Structure 1
Amino acid sequence: MPRTFLPSRDGFAFVNSWPRQPAVTLPTPFGDIGVGNAEGGLCGGMVFAALDFWHAGTATPAERPAKDDPLYTFLVDRLIDSWHLPAGVVQYYQWMNLPDGDSSFTALGRRVLIERGVSWRTIRVQWAQISKDLDSGVPVPLGVVTIDSKDPRDLALNHQVLAVGYNRIGNRVTLRVYDPNRGRRDDTFIAFDTGAPARATTFGHNLGIGGNRVRGFFRAAYRPRRVPSPLGP
């Protein structure tokens, strides 16, 4: 098993900043989505690729690749993988359209649940799975939902990071993450309270997402891939 993932050592030395034109157009159930501009970036590709290098026991390259570089092509390919088409895109869109807290009404003095919100799905379902992997020393790629929108074009405003560890005091969890938008920083986090998941939960963070809030997150489907030669073994 490789050593613990440390962003200052195992993340890419360059941040997620690329040409404004789309790096790739993703065909989704809601139409084509251009990803790779100043808003979308290659966050998912960088997260998956950094984890690939970690699994391979190989240091991430220090130089930012040009568009004709094999590493750049690999990042774009891994970006497409990170969206897990079509199921992953559907999950992002579903969560974009969910309320933060559970929806319910009271009838005859009893609470009737209509729909679970993003907070409950994050804390009760996703976090239970993510924490088990982290306890085993395995980093976990996360899809981070940042937007409340019915417009499929806003899918590119969501984000992806890599969970690498956590601290817990009572119900308070501080999740340590590698965020390609912040680079090789070991102090990047998402913090939340697990005590009342049915209510809208505040997810504190210092992610590089332009001041947008974190509504919730889920485990992204990941399988390791061989890193490109001559960069890897």
Structure 2
Amino acid sequence: MGLELTEFRPEFHGFRFANSFSTLVFPPIPLLPSIGPFGGLCGGMTFAALDYFFARRPVPQHTTADLPFGVPAEGSALWEFVLRRHLNSIGVQTAAVGVPLTVGPLHLNLVPGDPHNAVLFANFALGAPAALPGLVAGEVRKLIAAISSGRPVPVFLVKRGSVQDSHQAVAIGYDDSTSPVEIYLYDNRSPLSVRTLRVDSGTCVLDGAEPWDAFFVGSYTPVTPSYSDLVLTGSITAVPFPGTRRFHVQFTLENRGEAQSTVSELWALADPEPGTVPTQPIGALPTGFLAIYAFTFDFAALAGQTVALQAVSGDRGRGEVVAVQPGPGTSGTVQITVP
């Protein structure tokens, strides 16, 4: 089939900070010491990135430099969302009544969730080594079917006998015209970049230098993301100047997140484009601050046509386009008819 890619792009849909979480777990038995710290919440970042993608919502725009510890702080809303999705990825969910566990400042009651990933991990990590090539070949076929349908999927990179040394990432494409087969990943350890897993006869090597014992496609069910940072405070507007084909286009963005966010620039994406599209440079936007886009568009070249306008952020020169999240009762798009 050759090269197949989904619409998931790490530079648009992946988190902009690396997975460097360090998490302490406190057992439910008093006086026992904490466990850990455990490095990383790879399953949570994998599942959460897919949640934003399938919800067609922009991933939070916090960079490593925006966050005091390089990642969302323990106890913050984004940290809790990522943590809960990490637990889901390994077959655990929270409930009102369950096994008590304290993770950082969060007190949880855990109950069994979807066991698929835990069962498969046990098969790959603890089963007979001679069975791995056949198991991995089956997972390649499963991945190809998912990607060919346009669906990015979570993948587990397995280190035999070690949960802590194993890893999760998002598979976003593949190329089976090469030998070995190449699988393209968003790896939450490497923001904004694509990594390549080469798989052949049970051998899995990431970017030519990082060997893994096996991989498998994880079970995943989307949930609605519970956290947003950059949100429209009102709908995008396009007001005509009487007797002309010029419109005043405006929208306002607020950082409602828990930390500073970084936005290269704002603009109104026009379809079809009128020619020159002005951009508004922004940079770092502290919590609670507003960014205003207000420019005049000249649609003289599009007389009589209907034009769709959408509020977006990103870096236009690099082709990075991120739709802005509408706030309650607002819209990030508007249509105009040019006289």
CA RMSD of aligned residues (A): 2.4
Matches within 5 A, 1:34-49: 37-38=38-39, 41-49=40-48
Q: C-alpha separation between the residues in 1 aligned to 2:188 and 2:169?
A: 7
Pair member with larger Rg:
2
Q: Which has the higher helix share?
A: 1
* Alpha-carbon separation, structure 2, partners of 1:212 and 1:191: 10
Unaligned runs of 5+ in 2: 1-5, 28-34, 63-70, 93-114, 230-324, 327-339
- Any idea what the Cα deviations from partners look like across 1:136-160, whole Å, max 9, x if unmatched? 110010111123x3xxxx3222111
Counterpart-to-counterpart distance in 2, 1:74 and 1:222: 15
Contact 1:14–1:62 (CA under 8 A) maintained in structure 2: no
Report the CA distance between 1:21 and its aligned residue.
Answer: 2.7
- Go from structure 1 to structure 2 and tell me whether the alpha carbon gap of 1:82 and 1:118 turns closer, same or farther (over 3 Å shift): same
Residue of structure 2 in register with 1:205 after alignment: 206
Equivalent residue number for residue 164 of structure 1: 172
Look up the match of 2:156: 143
Counterpart for residue 91 of structure 1: 120
Q: 1:89, CA displacement in angstroms?
A: 2.2
Equivalent position SS for 1:54: helix
- Report deviation, 1:97: 1.9
Alpha-carbon distance between aligned partners in 2 of 1:74 and 1:202, rounded to the nearest angstrom: 34
- SS of corresponding position for 2:7: coil
Provide the rounded CA distance (Å) in 2 between the counterparts of 1:177 and 1:35: 28
* Within-5 A mapping of 1:23-102: 37-38=38-39, 41-63=40-62, 64-85=71-92, 86-100=115-129, 102=130
Q: Which runs of 4+ in 1 moved over 6 A?
A: none
Q: Give the residue type in structure 1 aligned to 2:223.
A: R
TM-score normalised according to structure 2 size: 0.51
Quick check: 2:171–2:185 contact (8 Å CA) kept in 1?
yes
Greater strand share, structure number: 2
Deviations 1:161-213 (A, max 9, x none): 11000112254311000111112112x010022xxx4xxx3212139xxx762
Relative contact order, higher structure (CA 8 A, sep 6+): 1
Instruction: Calculate the TM-score normalised by the size of structure 1.
Output: 0.73
Alpha-carbon offset, residue 94 of structure 1: 2.7
Same amino acid, percent of matched pairs = 26
